[in-house]
């Protein structure tokens, strides 16, 4: 009877350990699957953030290019107006000099 009791206790202990190991294995597999899903989500989020950043930088570059073109146009226009004014002043000085010579 003592041997049967010891064998039963040993068998019960073995079954308990096997059940615990199986539960631990199942929990480990579940945790691993959740970690993989989380990493996939993080990777997707990072990719989306990188694409959003790329798009924002591209748009900012286009805006800067447009502003640069407008600035160049303004500078060109200002230069042309300055040249026109200088021509007018030159013509006026030429006319004044001509009148001064004629009046002598």
In a domain, 67, yes or no: yes
Count: domains in the chain: 1
The pTM (predicted TM-score) of the whole model is 0.49
- So what's the pLDDT on residue 13? 67
In a domain, 102, yes or no: no
Q: Report d(CA 16, CA 67) in Å as an integer.
A: 75
| Lowest-confidence pick of 14-18, 46-50, 76-80, 95-99 | 14-18
pLDDT tens-digit readout, 21-75: 777 788 888 999 999 999 999 999 999 999 999 999 999 999 999 999 999 999 9
In a domain, 25, yes or no: yes
Q: Which domain holds residue 35?
A: 1-76
In a domain, 104, yes or no: no
């Amino acid at each position: 009877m003592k041997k049967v009791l010891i064998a039963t206790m040993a068998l019960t202990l073995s079954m308990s350990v096997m059940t615990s190991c199986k539960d631990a294995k199942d929990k480990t597999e579940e945790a691993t699957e959740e970690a993989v899903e989380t990493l996939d989500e993080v990777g997707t989020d990072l990719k989306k953030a990188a694409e959003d950043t790329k798009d924002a930088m591209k748009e900012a570059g286009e805006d800067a290019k447009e502003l640069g073109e407008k600035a160049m146009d303004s500078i060109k226009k200002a230069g042309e107006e300055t040249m026109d004014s200088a021509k007018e002043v030159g013509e006026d000085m030429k006319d004044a000099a001509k009148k001064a010579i004629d009046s002598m």
